[in-house]
Amino acid sequence: MSQRQLASVLFAVLGAFIAITSVPQIVLSIGILAAGDQAAPVAYAITFVIGTIISVILGIVLVLIRVRLAERLSQATPRRWLHRTRKR
C-alpha cells in the first residue's frame, strides 16, 4: 500500500468517525430544542445544534476530499525530504 492510499484511507476513516459520532449529538440537540427551557436555555440548544451540524459537515467533507488531500500530502513529502536524507 502506497503512502497516498494509506493517507486516503486514514482521512476516510477519520471523516467517517467524526460524522458517525455526531449522530447522538444530533438526537440530543433536537431533544433539547423540543423540551424548550426545561432542559436548557434556548441559546445553548441552538449553539449545540449549530456545532453538531458543523461537525457532521466537516466529517463528510473530509471523506469527500480525502483523495485530494492524500495526493497533496504524498507529492509534497518525498521531494522535500529526499535530498536531505541521502548520504553524500
The answer to whether the CB of 66 falls within 8 A of the CB of 15 is: yes
Full domain range(s) for residue 80? 3-85
Domain total for the chain?
1
Taking the C-alpha atoms of residue 66 and residue 60, their distance in angstroms, rounded to an integer, is 10
Taking the C-alpha atoms of residue 2 and residue 36, their distance in angstroms, rounded to an integer, is 52
Residue 23, burial from CB neighbour count under 10 angstroms (0-12, 13-18, 19+):
exposed
Taking the C-alpha atoms of residue 33 and residue 22, their distance in angstroms, rounded to an integer, is 17
The answer to whether the CB of 15 falls within 8 A of the CB of 60 is: yes
Q: What is the pLDDT of residue 76?
A: 57
Local mean pLDDT, 10-residue blocks, the chain (88 residues): 80 86 82 78 81 87 85 65 55
Q: What is the pLDDT of residue 86?
A: 55
